[in-house]
Structure 1
Amino acid sequence: MESDPNHLRDPYKPDADEAELPDLECAICFCQFNNIFNTPKVLECKHTFCLECLARMNVKSVQPNTLQCPLCRAYTPLPDLGLPKLANDSTVLSYLPAAMQHVYSIRFNRTKGKLQVKRVPSSAPALTHTIRQSLDVGNPAGEGGEGSSARERSVLITILRSPLCKAFIMCTVAIMTIILIIVILVMHKPS
């Protein structure tokens, strides 16, 4: 049976070729993946983000040995040798230009909040002199001017964002509103 040439393609349904193409940019910063600081790292939940964004998340986390996926909230324990040792997304890397498929060796120093190029691979292109050797990703949680009050604020924000706490706050506001209306009605009641 031949397909009808007048039949319009559904614009919201991806073509077969498009459906298999991985996303080539980080879902957090929207930067294109590369082989240096924006290396595509895959978490245990199979979501992929760039190394720089994961380092920024880790630096601000009060749990330095795990990462929480910003999409599905699943936790990924970090490898013993640190954040850069998370698995690279080889599918994404395979779609990058050939010169970007050799990943640089990166060191993550959480206490200083820095990503640093440890060594340049011998197969790297001749453009290695243009590569930044380090990248600041911020001060670790609880350090660099952030005291225990910052940690307490972080815990409070986490609690306030929980569904149970939101429901409690909404109920409290509703009850206070009803009480206020009753007080207003009683005060304006003609004697």
Structure 2
Amino acid sequence: ENPPDLECAICFCQFNNVFNTPKVLQCKHTFCLECLARMNVKSTQPDTIQCPLCRAYTPLPNLGLPKLANDSTVLSYFPAAMQHVYSIRFNRNKGKLQVKRVPSSAPALTQTVSQTLDVGNPAGLEGHQGRDGGRERSLLITVLRTPLCKAFIMSLVAILIVVLTITIILIKNK
């Protein structure tokens, strides 16, 4: 039997036991947790993941993406010290993967691997409109994060401060 592919078919990074843990979908295709998290953050269907190879859908476990089954065949090819998979938390709203707890048997992790990984901003709330006008708010946040808009707003604030200062000086001198 041929050995399994030991790298993710999306990012081509070698699988590991932290953020690049090999996760197997219902269709039996395996990808790293980081790539699946990046896909899920951009997806408008947060409760499922669509296989990028065969397009089959895999419903996510109740406790989220990190609870998808690990590919035990791939893990069996790791050195013994790497066969323990770290407990990872996925916060979709913040677009972050976090190491939940580091076992005392693996203090080296703190020097070699970041405790948090940013996987991108969540997809907008297209078609979903809460009582607080969620779609408008997310659009406003997107616009305000654009560097050109930030520069424009900062310039407007600076001009406003100059105009107010001149007005106050003119009023005081009368």
Do they fold alike, i.e. is TM over 0.5?
yes
**Can you list the C-alpha shifts for 1:108-129, whole angstroms capped at 9, x where unaligned?**
00000000000112443x4122
**Map of 1:71-82 to 2, 5 A cutoff?**
71-82=53-64
Please say which of residues 106-115 and 129-138 is displaced more in the overlay.
129-138
Counterpart of 2:42 in structure 1 is: 60
User: 1:28 is matched by which residue type in structure 2?
Assistant: I
Q: Structure 1: which 4+ aligned runs deviate by more than 3 Å?
A: 145-148
CA RMSD, Structure 1 to Structure 2 (Å): 1.9
Contact 1:102–1:123 (CA<8 Å) still a contact in 2? Answer: no
Secondary structure of the residue aligned to 1:99 is: helix
**Offset from partner CA, 1:70-123 (integer Å, 9 cap, x none):** 000000000000000000000000101111111000000000000000011244
Aligned to 1:57, what secondary structure does the other structure show?
Answer: helix
Q: Tell me the equivalent position of 1:29.
A: 11
Pairwise CA distance, 1:22: 0.3
Aligned counterparts, 1:13-162, within 5 A: 19-124=1-106, 126-130=107-111, 131-142=113-124, 147=139
Match of 1:10 in 2: none
Amino acid at match of 2:109: T
Q: Which residue of 1 aligns with 2:128?
A: none
Identity, % of aligned pairs? 81
Question: Over alpha carbons, which structure has the higher Rg?
Answer: 1
> Do the aligned residues in 2 keep the contact of 1:117 with 1:133 (CA within 8 Å)?
yes
Aligned to 1:139, the other structure's residue is in SS state: coil
Q: Distance in 1 between matches of 2:110 and 2:98?
A: 15
Work out the CA distance in 1 between the residues paired with 2:58 and 2:109. Answer: 32
Equivalent residue of 1:95, what SS?
coil
State the one-letter code of the partner of 1:113. Answer: G
Structure 1: give runs of 5+ residues left out of the alignment: 1-18, 151-191
Q: How many residues are matched?
A: 129
Kept in 2, the 8 Å contact 1:25–1:32? The answer is yes
Q: Unpaired runs of 5+ in structure 2? A: 126-136, 143-174
Question: How far off its partner does 1:20 sit?
Answer: 1.9
Contact 1:105 1:121 in 2 (8 A): no
